[in-house]
Amino acid sequence: MNSLAEKINKMLVAKDSQDSLTQVNVKGCVIGGEQIVVIAGPCAIESEDWLKETAFKVRGAGAAMLRGGAFKPRTSPYSFQGLGEEGLITLAKIGEAMNMPVITEVMDSEDIPVVSEYSDILQVGARNMHNFSLLKKLGQIDKPVLLKRGMAATVEEWLLAAEYILAGGNNQVVLCERGTRSAEKWTRNTLDLSAAALAKELTHLPVIVDPSHGTGVRSLVAPMAKAAIAAGADGLIVEVHPHPERALSDGEQSLTPRQFSILMREIEPIGKVMGRRVR
Ligand code: PEP
Ligand code: MN
C-alpha cells in the first residue's frame, strides 16, 4: 500500500475495503461500469418547455441522465432560487417521458423526503459537502447520492464526507470533482483533475467530473470534459441550455445543445482509448 492509501486505510471508502469497485445503479444507468455516464441539462429547471427541449436534445446526443436544479444554492438571496417542488415535479415528469433517470440537488435535510420522491439520485452541492447532519441523513436513505467536492475541500475531506454517508449504511455514492477556489480570476474555479485521478486511486467509489462549474467558461467546458475522460473519470455532468443567454443561472458556462452534441462525438474516441464506451 502506498502512503496516500494508508491515510484512508480501514475506512469504508478505501479501495481495499472491498474486493470490487462500486457500481452505482441509478434506475438502470450504471455509474462506475464500462460506460462513461454523461449527465446533462440546465443549471436550474426554469420551464417545462425548455427542460423538455433540452432533455430531447441531450438524449439524442447520447446523454444518459438529465440534470436540473429545483433548490438552487445562489450566492445572492436576490438571485433566482429555483422552482422548488414545482421544479421537481417537472423534472420527474420529463425524465419519465424521455426514459432518463434524473438528478437534482438536495440543499437541506428537511427536503430529503420530497427530493427523494422525484429524483433518482440526490446531489449534494459543493457548499454542503461539509454539512455533516445532511450527510448523516443521506446515509440512511435508500437512494444514490452524488457528492460534490467542496470549493475549498482537500481530497481527504471529500473522502471523509463520503465516509459519513457510507458509515450510515448507504454505499451508493458517486464522487464529483467540480473545481476548487484558487488565485485565478478568469475562471470560476480551478478544475482539479489530479484530485479526480487521486480519488480513483484511493477509493472504490465512482468519480465523475463537472467541467461546467469547474471552469465557469463555456469555451473551456469541452477541453476539460475531454481531459477528464482521459484522466479516467467514470462520467461527466455538463450544463446545457437551449438559450444560454436567457438562462436564469449559469448561462455563461452552459453549452448549447449543438455544442453538447459535438462534445459527445468528440469524447467517444477518447473513451474508447480508455477502454470505455460513452453510450
Ligand atoms: C450545480 O450543479 O448546479 C451546482 C450548484 O454545483 P456546485 O455545488 O458544484 O456549485
Ligand atoms: Mn450551475
CA 16–ligand 1 middle distance (angstroms): 30
| pLDDT at 120 (0 to 100) | 98
- 135 neighbors 161 (Cβ within 8 angstroms): yes
**22 inside domain:** no
Q: pLDDT digit string (tens) for 128-149? A: 999 999 999 999 999 999 999 9
- Whether 1 has a pLDDT exceeding 70, the answer reads no
CATH no. for residue 253?
3.20.20.70
Within 10 angstroms of residue 10's Cβ, the number of other Cβ atoms is: 8
**17 inside domain:** no
- Name the closest ligand to CA 67: 1
Number of domains in the chain: 1
Q: pLDDT digit string (tens) for 178-234? A: 999 999 999 999 999 999 999 999 999 999 999 999 999 999 999 999 999 999 999
**122 inside domain:** yes
Q: Is 151 helix (H, G, I), strand (E, B) or coil?
A: coil
Q: Could you tell me the three cell numbers for 104?
A: 437534482
Residue 9: pLDDT band with limits 50, 70, 90: confident
Q: pLDDT digit string (tens) for 50-74? A: 999 999 999 999 999 999 999 999 9
Structural domain range at position 93: 36-273
**44 inside domain:** yes
Count Cβ atoms within 10 A of the Cβ of residue 51 and give its class: 0-12 exposed, 13-18 middle, 19 or more buried: buried
Q: Which residues keep their CB under 5 angstroms from ion ligand 2?
A: 43, 250
Q: Is the dihedral of CA 127, 131, 134, 136 positive or negative?
A: positive
Taking the model in full, what pTM does it have? 0.98
**56 inside domain:** yes
Strand residues in the chain grouped as ranges (E): 24-26, 29-31, 37-41, 65-67, 102-105, 121-124, 145-148, 173-177, 207-209, 235-239
Type of residue at 237: I
**4 inside domain:** no
Cβ neighbours of residue 75 closer than 8 Å, sequence gap 6 or more? none
| pLDDT at 4 (0 to 100) | 76
- 102 neighbors 95 (Cβ within 8 angstroms): yes
Q: pLDDT digit string (tens) for 150-180? A: 999 999 999 999 999 999 999 999 999 999 9
Mutate to test the pocket of ligand 1, among 43, 81, 104, 249 (most ligand atoms within 8 A of CB): 43
**198 inside domain:** yes
